[in-house]
Amino acid sequence: MTARDAIPSLTNLDTNKLLGDISRKWDTDIVPQLIEYVKLPAKSPGFDHDWATHGFLDAAIDQARKWVLAQNVAGLTLEVVRVDGRTPVLFFDIPSTAGVDPTRTILLYGHLDKQPEMTGWRSGLGPWIPVYEDGKLYGRGSADDGYAVFAALSAIVALDAQGVARPHCVGLIETCEESGSYDLPYYLESLATRMGQVKLVIALDSGAGNYDQMWVTTSLRGLVNGTLTVNVLTEGVHSGDAGGVVPSSFRIARQLLDRIDDSHTGIVKPPEFNCEIPKERVTQAKQAADILGEAMWKRFPWDSCCDDGGKFTFVQPTTKDPVELILNRTWRAALAVTGADGLPSIEMGGNVQRPYTSLKLSLRLPPLVNGEKAAAQLKHTLENDPPYSAHVTYNFEQAATGWNAPPIAPWLSAVLDVASQTFYGKPAAYLGEGGTIPFMAMLGVKFPDAQMLITGVLGPQSNAHGPNEFLHVPYAKKLTAAVAIVLAGAV
């Protein structure tokens, strides 16, 4: 008896037909839809404060709404939920089939807002210029996370076409995830009664360690985003006159950052920003490291230089130990400077000592560290007793707590292995992610008894949020089919 035979609800499922139907749907319908979606500069409200006037988020929601309605799913109800001053959400509700308990619900999640443009796109590519080549759709947002609503509905449609039983499914597609999902608690509260008893959450907004198997996200880091500003003068002055007298605002900023992380190692020092790593996650990191090996660091686009002898030397990772790299990017804090102000361009930089330096800081937090408390601690650490009594301010814009998955139920573990083996020929693998999905922590509070399946298509080189971001379409086809198996196995 195979592992699939042990799951009665999958007995009548033709998996070859399932993958075939879904693959054709991607080729003829989903990819064209995503090409149009990429063209929309639907930046998250945190990056487009006039989003309501510009209308791009509304355009993305409307595109998804029209497509969902066109699928003609039996019993489907669909609503764009709008509240004045809040970003809209798309909510769909599809009844269960074949007599499955109508109150037991699977919640499918995605988002349609995008990160900003970012520089460095290769020639011929751009954030709002869709290019489809070699099975990859380039452009901002299709993999993070425009594909989610299309994949979710396609999985349901493919099951219904075979008459395979599945549970009650609802979908929640938001438009402010990249800004911290600050509107989501309101919608979760207002829509909760319509969701029923949420048994399983499927969020298609995460990463993949490779493109060879299904990856399940076990944890997500938290995040504090904010701006550090150091003021020393009311206006710029001649550097020859002030040099050695007026302390550099940049040098003071460097000293303040040293309070957070070690400039030699990158280790974040304050204990308030760290936590003990659960033994289970260390074990899973070792298992993932056995699968990924050197790919953990080779996946990045390292720069290189050439010495006088013609030998190329590449920039080196923090370590080449794959277990430590996995833990570094999932269960340890990390600080990055993601923006700056007060710095003229090189062409415009004269011999002037600048009056201020502003740095945008992104502090990734371990999953068990409270985001709000960390933000308050970060503000105190940076502002307290500044060097030279400089005028220092730190204003945080976003504070999100991470997420650690509840223990996976045996039935879900079995179904995930069947899904991965069926379409990838390998068992499902488990890996924490270094990014943040605020939705998950919120949902864990709202539905504490629900199982969580967080997965996604952001594998090696897909470069979410950066230049040359792409969606790996062959992988996404198989993942859509795998989600269909999970839906059928959850009855």
Q: How far apart are CA 164 and CA 97, in angstroms?
A: 8
Confidence band of 7 (pLDDT split at 50, 70, 90): confident
Distances (CA, A) of 446 to 78, 106, 184: 22, 14, 11
Q: Please give the full DSSP string across 195-238, using - where no structure is assigned.
A: H-EEEEEEEE--B-S-SSS-EEEEEE-EEEEEEEEEE--SS-EE
Residue 41 has pLDDT above 80, yes or no: yes
Residue 1 has pLDDT above 60, yes or no: no
Confidence band of 447 (pLDDT split at 50, 70, 90): confident
Q: What confidence score (pLDDT) does residue 206 get?
A: 95
Q: The dihedral of CA 288, 290, 293, 299: what is its sign?
A: negative
CB 250 within 8 A of CB 369: no
At the topology level, CATH places domain 4-220+402-489 in: Aminopeptidase (3.40.630)
Q: What is the CATH number of domain 222-275+333-400?
A: 3.30.70.360
Question: Which among 420, 452, 366 has a CA at the least distance from the CA of 109?
Answer: 452
Pairing of strands 352-353, 237-238: antiparallel
Domains of the chain by residue range: 4-220+402-489, 222-275+333-400, 280-330
Residue 274: what are its φ and ψ, rounded to 5°?
-135, 165
Mean pLDDT of 274-283: 97
Q: The dihedral of CA 250, 382, 47, 150: what is its sign?
A: positive
Query: H-helix or E-strand containing 171?
Result: strand 168-174
DSSP reduced 3-state for 145: helix
Confidence band of 9 (pLDDT split at 50, 70, 90): confident
Question: Which among 424, 382, 490, 430 has a CA at the least distance from the CA of 164?
Answer: 490
Query: H-helix or E-strand containing 479?
Result: helix 473-489
End-to-end Cα, the chain, rounded Å: 21
Question: Which among 394, 363, 343, 353 has a CA at the least distance from the CA of 230?
Answer: 394
CB 229 within 8 A of CB 358: yes
CB 168 within 8 A of CB 102: yes
Q: Give the up-direction half-sphere exposure of residue 291: CA atoms within 13 A in the CB hemisphere.
A: 20
47 burial via Cβ count (<10 Å: 0-12, 13-18, 19+): middle
Tokens matching residue 455: 């997965």
pLDDT digit string (tens) for 464-486? 999 999 999 999 999 999 999 99
Residue owning tokens 């859509």: 480
CA angle 382/385/386 to nearest 5° reads: 65
Across the chain, mean pLDDT equals: 95
Q: How far apart are CA 424 and CA 475, in angstroms?
A: 9
Report the interhelical angle of 322-330 vs 279-292 (nearest 10°).
130
DSSP reduced 3-state for 187: helix
Q: How far apart are CA 331 and CA 313, in angstroms?
A: 30
Peptide bond into 261 cis (omega under 30): no
Query: H-helix or E-strand containing 54?
Result: helix 51-54
pLDDT digit string (tens) for 81-92? 999 889 999 999
pLDDT digit string (tens) for 415-433? 999 999 999 999 999 999 9
Farthest CA pair distance, the chain = 84
pLDDT digit string (tens) for 371-399? 999 999 999 999 999 999 999 999 998 89
Q: How far apart are CA 34 and CA 130, in angstroms?
A: 8
Distances (CA, A) of 103 to 162, 190, 200, 446, 490: 23, 18, 12, 17, 13
Mean pLDDT of 174-194: 92
Q: What is this structure's pTM?
A: 0.90
Q: For residue 177, which amino acid is it?
A: E
CA angle 449/454/457 to nearest 5° reads: 170
Q: How far apart are CA 6 and CA 276, in angstroms?
A: 38
pLDDT digit string (tens) for 142-182? 999 999 999 999 999 999 999 999 999 999 999 999 998 99
Q: How far apart are CA 20 and CA 7, in angstroms?
A: 22
